[in-house]
């Protein structure tokens, strides 16, 4: 399939990430020798960056403070080739910051996010971008948005809507718009919250997927961590195992997975091939030192997806 010239519009959070990882086993209540890194992040921003690495044109809608952190986020987005023209810059709130501590394996142990500025990604701001949405190949939103903004996108945007619930604490913001979502990418806990099904067995996964699709949703991909991805569409139900990887940094896997799902959809791939591409994108992401791995590209994604299929 030829690449679409229409942009993918990503609406979501953009942060400055401050992360620490100990050199040895993490000891709580103590000072741990290790590494501290500062980078740009945010679910929406990370998805946008991954989509650019996959060769798709991307326009990003978010809110940044008129501060040094906002300047850094905007500059790095522009360097990645993301269209930042419509980003809201404001003095009303500082650029959001995500502070996290990872364990020695790179898994997030504890985090604090200061994302008050996301309230400014409001329906009024979004309504001013009507021309952007009308020409979008797809729209991706994360649940850092206010509930009313997610509802605006669900009710007003005609392009396929992809939604990342972000966390169990924020997933509930998507509950009333599930039937308007084309593709949802929850993890197990988020899927339990939104479906009302406690997922302990394969039968539970089937029932949770049935509940979500019964709302009118087209596709759901439930991330199961090391157990792979459970995918559902229409009457298809399947589980794809994780792609082999040598993990260095576990943050960002879900963001790359969502980018893989959008890319797969725009390539016209089947449910199974989309799930494989999503798993491959996550595998590539965790092998990089940073939240977004610059090694991601369409050829690498296809090759890793084929490797995972042959395992």
pLDDT in tens, 260-295: 999 999 999 999 999 999 999 999 999 998 889 999
* pLDDT surpasses 50 at 191: yes
Q: Any idea what DSSP says for residue 83?
A: B
Strands of 58-61's sheet, edge to edge?
Answer: 58-61, 8-11, 138-142, 161-164, 183-184, 219-223, 229-233, 236-240
Fold of the CATH domain 8-310: 3.40.1190
What's the mean pLDDT in 101-110? 87
Q: What is the pLDDT of residues 62-78, one digit of tens each?
A: 999 999 999 999 999 99
- What pLDDT shows up at residue 3? 45
Q: What is the pLDDT of residues 129-143, one digit of tens each?
A: 999 999 999 999 999
Could you tell me the two tokens for 50? 């991954």
Of the chain, the end-to-end C-alpha distance in Å amounts to 27
The answer to whether the CB of 184 falls within 8 A of the CB of 196 is: no
* pLDDT surpasses 50 at 1: no
Q: How confident is the model at residue 51 (pLDDT cuts 50, 70, 90)?
A: very high
Q: Where are the beta strands (DSSP E) in 13-132?
A: 15-22, 34-41, 58-61, 63-65, 88-90, 96-102, 108-114
Q: Report residue 278 CA to chain centroid gap.
A: 11
Mean pLDDT score across all residues of the chain: 94
* pLDDT surpasses 50 at 2: no
Longest Cα–Cα distance in the chain: 54
**What are the residues facing 65 on neighbouring strands?**
90
Could you tell me the two tokens for 171? 């997933």
The predicted model scores a pTM of: 0.92
């Amino acid at each position: 399939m030829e690449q679409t010239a229409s942009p993918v519009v990503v609406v979501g959070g953009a942060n400055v990430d401050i992360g620490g990882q100990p050199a040895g086993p993490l000891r709580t209540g103590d000072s741990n020798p290790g590494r501290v890194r500062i980078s740009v992040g945010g679910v929406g921003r990370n998805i946008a960056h991954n989509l650019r690495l996959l060769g798709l044109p991307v326009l990003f809608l978010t809110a940044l403070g008129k501060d040094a952190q906002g300047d850094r986020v905007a500059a790095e987005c522009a360097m990645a080739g993301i269209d930042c023209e419509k980003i809201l810059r404001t003095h009303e709130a500082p650029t959001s910051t995500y502070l996290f501590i990872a364990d020695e394996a790179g898994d997030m142990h504890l985090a604090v996010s200061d994302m008050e500025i996301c309230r400014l990604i409001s329906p009024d701001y979004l309504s001013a971008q009507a021309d952007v949405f009308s020409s979008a190949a797809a729209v991706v939103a994360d649940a850092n948005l206010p509930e009313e903004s997610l509802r605006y996108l669900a009710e007003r945007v005609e392009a396929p809507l992809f939604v990342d619930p972000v966390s169990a604490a924020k997933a509930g913001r998507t509950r009333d718009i599930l039937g308007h979502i084309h593709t949802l990418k929850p993890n197990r806990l988020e899927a339990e919250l939104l479906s009302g099904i406690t997922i302990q067995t394969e039968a539970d996964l089937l029932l949770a997927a049935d509940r979500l699709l019964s709302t009118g949703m087209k596709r759901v991909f439930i991330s199961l961590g090391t157990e792979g991805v459970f995918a559902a569409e229409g009457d298809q139900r399947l589980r794809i195992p994780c792609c082999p990887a040598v993990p260095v940094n576990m943050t960002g896997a879900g963001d790359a997975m969502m980018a893989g799902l959008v890319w797969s959809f725009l390539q016209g791939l089947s449910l199974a091939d989309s799930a494989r591409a999503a798993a491959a994108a996550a595998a590539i992401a965790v092998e990089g030192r940073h939240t977004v791995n610059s090694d991601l590209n369409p050829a690498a994604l296809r090759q890793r997806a084929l490797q995972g299929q042959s395992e």
